[in-house]
Amino acid sequence: MSTTRADLEAMDAADPLARFRDRFFVPEGITYLDGNSLGCLPKAALDRLDETARVEWGRDLITSWNVHGWIEAPLKLGGKLAQIIGAEEDEVAVCDSTSVNLFKLVAGALSLRPGRRTILSEPGNFPTDLYILQGLVGLLGDRAALRTVAAEDVVAAIDDDTAVVVLTHVHYKTGRRHDMAAITRAAQDRGALVIWDLSHSAGALAVDLNGCNADLAVGCGYKYLNGGPGAPAFLFVARRHQAQIVNPLSGWMGHAAPFAFVDGYEPAPDIRRELCGTPSILAMAALDAALDLFVEADMDQVEAKSARMCDLFIELVEARCPELTLVSPRRSTERGSQVSFAHPDGYPIMQALIARGVIGDFRAPDIIRFGFTPLYLRYTDVWDAAEAIGEVVGTRAYDRAEFRKVAAVT
Amino acid sequence: MSTTRADLEAMDAADPLARFRDRFFVPEGITYLDGNSLGCLPKAALDRLDETARVEWGRDLITSWNVHGWIEAPLKLGGKLAQIIGAEEDEVAVCDSTSVNLFKLVAGALSLRPGRRTILSEPGNFPTDLYILQGLVGLLGDRAALRTVAAEDVVAAIDDDTAVVVLTHVHYKTGRRHDMAAITRAAQDRGALVIWDLSHSAGALAVDLNGCNADLAVGCGYKYLNGGPGAPAFLFVARRHQAQIVNPLSGWMGHAAPFAFVDGYEPAPDIRRELCGTPSILAMAALDAALDLFVEADMDQVEAKSARMCDLFIELVEARCPELTLVSPRRSTERGSQVSFAHPDGYPIMQALIARGVIGDFRAPDIIRFGFTPLYLRYTDVWDAAEAIGEVVGTRAYDRAEFRKVAAVT
């Protein structure tokens, strides 16, 4: 009684999210399982981009800052995003990159916890997050210290010197999901804050920041949110911290009166103080159109479909490929919207899959990674991907010379 | 023998840059003198944007990082920009916002001058620049100090504790141009560095960074460079500083091996170390198309036309409106590509001009400001603007109630 393609066709027919697929450009003949790196293009984003460039920039020019509300874009988009990550609309701003936003919030967390020096994270965290922490600590000298401990030891490592714990909600490589509520509570019990990087969960899971009493968060606009390559990122500051947090990247957009052009910086009283320079309005336009789709979608349905697709994928791939080792958690509640397997020939296997139109990605040394985006993928895509993987791995239909190539590069 | 409109028509007919106007969307019936705030839309930018979204993002998706060279965009655009600001192509990167880039370079300048604490600037500098300096000093505590002295006293104020002087090449309000070569030399004679903010000069003047032996610079992509609202900004680091300068915003794009995904940050050996997070590829695409126009243009011709237009504008406006006080330097070598006048009723005057299709802007308390963009403006635009100003000011054809309105706001 194993699962058949017909079973998955039936699931597609019954899928309440199926109607969203047609709102995206999904390339013909491709099974795109890399939406965790770059989401597909929403059709509305293409139109919005053209309209923003042609009419707002081209025709209305400088007046668009007011007439078309450009000046409000970071908070307008933040308000939409807030709805899908369990925040209030005045707690989220869309701006800068994830890296820049993390820098702001870690420095901000230190400002909220004077006397504490330690920034706690885990080895193998998303690399740019660790790099940013290292850069900030380098700048602050003996006023801050970075400590990394294994994920399972993080809670025990929080002590009286811990200002802030910086963790990625869903691990970029394995898909492991941290228990946001439990870790947040444990940190707060010891007087520390947590910054959650939602880059690999926002848009794929029913993130509930306020349900977890989260303090601070950042995240990425171009993965599951489908905002376009290098889309603006976002940040979340719980209301209770907004009046105190200090943003060291104090650009004009974060000023209480940005158009007064006075010499002295005075932070806006609210989330606006986390803004810095002028955002790209073109990039904002594309992300705005992408967010509109999420405002229509039910995030519980999104998370449920994600879990079901990933569960099916594991079942179907394992039935075909005993050679692959599951690296992701088996239980969907402990996992994000991606599934990773390890295999010594991971690199050439992924190259062979891509050549067959199944797009996932490879992460050194041996991980093949598949992301599942509930809004535009079908259950039958899961089937087709598993079939292709079974064929490539089972028949060793890949070029092992490719493995030596990547081994020399990385 | 005063100047007539026919004289300006003759200048347009002889203008070697006249052919560029047709490469832009310039709104009908508008005399757009606000390109110093937001440049007009290059026609190629609209096409490039559509192609980048539709084909690169929509069809080729994640493969575009390599196939379409997205990963090289910051340096590719930097190389083009370098040609018009007197830099080598490996000395400029396009990334982040001007504010973020200034933060990086001021922190970087402190890293290059250990033991020196003072950051020197001038009151009334572009506000976001001062705000960024205040934010950095706030973060660094007693390891840095901000000192501002009047423009004419800056050179004398440089002392043994001065790490870096931060000045805007052309003043945003008055259009006054600093002597880049002389100030750079004076600072270097005292062991200090200078960061030039080129936001109001790049694309309008023949900036010559290496000719002035400049150390560091930042600038904006959406003013005279016509890269679109909130376009990516840029930064310049002279080759001699690239191996030593520390970028505290050490995101993954600045890593020596960004795709190795290792835990430890190691800065790229070159200008790449000044990159941080993932840039908006859509925003980059528009700016890239805009920069292509400058690569075609002769910047000496651009600066010469700018000077001539501004000189004519001053002559024509002063002949019509003795009530206006010239705020900008009269000599074009001491001025950028803008002309500002003061008048107690500046706000309602500008409102009346905008209503007539002459778009400039107002800066509190009493300045009306007009920017001249050599690539898409005609000499006859200078005439038409001066005529409109003469009519509005001379006949007091503006609503003085507007003045009280703005007085209440600012």
- Structural domain boundaries, residue B404: 5-32+298-409
The answer to whether residues B155 and B21 belong to one domain is no
Residue B237's contacts (CB-CB under 8 Å, 6 or more residues apart) are: B91, B105, B108, B215, B216, B245, B271, B274
* Average model confidence (pLDDT) across chain A: 96
Task: Flag whether B134 is in a domain.
Answer: yes
Q: DSSP letters of A41-110?
A: EEHHHHHHHHHIIIIIIIITGGGHHHHT-GGGHHHHHHHHHHTTTT--TTSEEE-S-HHHHHHHHHHHHH
Q: Is B70 on the interface with A (CB under 8 A)?
A: yes
Which chain B residues have a beta carbon less than 8 Å from that of A49?
49-50, 53, 282
Question: So what's the ipTM on this one?
Answer: 0.96
Query: Which residue in B117, B177, B363, B369 is the catalytic one?
Result: B369
Name the domain boundary from B270, B296, B322. B296
- The pLDDT of residue B409: 44
Mean pLDDT of all residues in A330-347: 97
The pLDDT confidence band at residue B364, using thresholds 50, 70 and 90, is confident
Q: Which one, of A206, A184, A207, lies nearest residue A109 by Cα?
A: A184
Residue A166 lies in a domain: yes
Residue B90: CATH number of its domain: 3.40.640.10
Question: Where does the pLDDT of residue B2 fall: very low under 50, low under 70, confident under 90, or very high at 90 and above?
Answer: confident
Tens of pLDDT, residues A59-105 = 999 999 999 999 999 999 999 999 999 999 999 999 999 999 999 99
Q: What is the pLDDT of residue A369?
A: 97
A27 and A120 in a single domain? The answer is: no
| Helix %, strand %, coil % of chain B (to 5) | 50, 15, 35
CATH number at B389 reads: 3.90.1150.10
pLDDT confidence of residue A120: 98
Of the residues A23, A34, A52, A62, the best mutation for testing chain B's interface (the one with the most B CB atoms within 10 Å of its CB) is A62
- Burial class, A160, CB count within 10 angstroms (exposed 0-12 / middle 13-18 / buried 19+): exposed
Q: Taking 60 as the threshold, does the pLDDT of residue A324 lie above it?
A: yes
Chain A residues within an 8 Å CB radius of B131: 250-252, 254-255, 265
Predicted confidence at residue A364, as pLDDT, reads 87
Q: How far is CA B193 from CA A381, B120, B152, B184, in A?
A: 58, 10, 18, 7
**Which of B268, B296, B324 lies at the terminal end of a domain, its last residue?**
B296
**Distance in Å from the first CA to the final CA of chain B:** 43
Question: Does the structure show a pLDDT above 60 at A399?
Answer: yes
**Domain assignment of residue B244, yes or no:** yes
- Name which of A46, A228, A250 is nearest B134 (Cβ-Cβ): A250
Q: Which residues of B touch A364 (CB under 8 A)?
A: 260-261
Using the predicted structure, report yes or no on whether residue B401 has a pLDDT greater than 70: no
Question: Residue B233 falls within a domain, yes or no?
Answer: yes
Buried b (16+ CB within 10 A) or exposed e, B268-279: bebbbbbbbbbb
Cis ω for the linkage preceding B127 (within 30 of 0): no
Q: Is residue B258 part of a domain?
A: yes
pLDDT band at B242 (very low <50, low <70, confident <90, very high): very high
Q: Does A406 score more than 60 pLDDT?
A: no
pLDDT band (50, 70, 90) for residue B410: very low
pLDDT digits (tens, 9 = 90+) for A107-147: 999 999 999 999 999 999 999 999 999 999 999 999 999 99
Number of domains in chain B: 2
B375 and B245 housed in the same domain: no
Whether B202 has a pLDDT exceeding 60, the answer reads yes
User: Same domain, yes or no, for B331 and B405?
Assistant: yes
What gap in Å lies between CA A386 and CA A313, rounded to an integer? 7
Classify residue A37: in a domain, yes or no. no
pLDDT of residue B1: 61
To test the contact with chain A by mutation, choose from B32, B36, B97 the residue with the greatest count of A C-beta atoms within 10 A, namely B97
pLDDT, residue A409, reads: 44
Find the mean pLDDT for residues A390-410. Answer: 72
| Same domain membership, residue A230 and residue A194 | yes
- Give contacts of A251 with chain B, Cβ < 8 Å: 97, 99-100, 128, 131-132, 135
Mutating which of A280, A370, A410 best tests the B interface, going by the most B Cβ atoms within 10 A? A280
Q: Which of A163-172, A396-405, B78-87, B339-348 has the lowest mean pLDDT?
A: A396-405
CA distances to A185, B84, B134, B224 from B302, in Å: 61, 10, 35, 11
pLDDT at A265 over 70: yes
Instruction: Say if residue B120 is in the same domain as residue B264.
Output: yes
- In-domain check, residue A38: no
**Residues in a beta bridge with A148:** A121
Q: Does B134 touch chain A (CB under 8 A)?
A: yes
**Tens digits of residue pLDDT in A372-388:** 999 999 999 999 999 99
Q: Please tell me whether residues B270 and B258 are part of one structural domain.
A: yes
Would you call A260 an interface residue with chain B, using a CB distance cutoff of 8 Å?
yes
Residue in B23, B104, B176, B223 annotated catalytic = B223
The verdict on B135 and B212 lying in the same domain is yes
pTM of the model: 0.97
Record: contact A232-B280, CB cut-off 8 A: yes
Same domain, A242 and A105: yes
B95 has a pLDDT exceeding 80: yes
pLDDT, residue A402, reads: 63
Question: Both A284 and A401 in a single domain?
Answer: no
pLDDT for the residue numbered A410: 40
- Residue B127 pLDDT > 60, yes or no? yes
Percent of chain B residues topping a pLDDT of 90: 94
B126 catalytic per annotation: yes
Which pLDDT does position A404 carry in this prediction? 56
Q: Are both A275 and A317 inside the same structural domain?
A: no
pLDDT band at B397, cuts 50/70/90?
confident
Q: Is B168 helix (H, G, I), strand (E, B) or coil?
A: strand
- A210-250 pLDDT per residue, tens: 999 999 999 999 999 999 999 999 999 999 999 999 999 99
What is B308-368 written as a DSSP string? Answer: HHHHHHHHHHHHH-TTSEE-S-SSGGGB-SEEEEE-TTHHHHHHHHHHTTEE-EEETTTEE
Q: Which positions 147-206 of A are in contact with B (Cβ < 8 Å)? A: 148, 173
Q: Which of B197, B215, B288, B381 is catalytic?
A: B197
Within-domain flag for B55:
yes
| End-of-domain residue from the set A296, A312, A335 | A296
User: What pLDDT does B406 receive?
Assistant: 55
Min CA distance, B98 vs chain A (Å)?
Answer: 7
Residues A266 and A348 in one domain: no
Residue B136 and residue B125: Cα distance in Å, rounded?
16
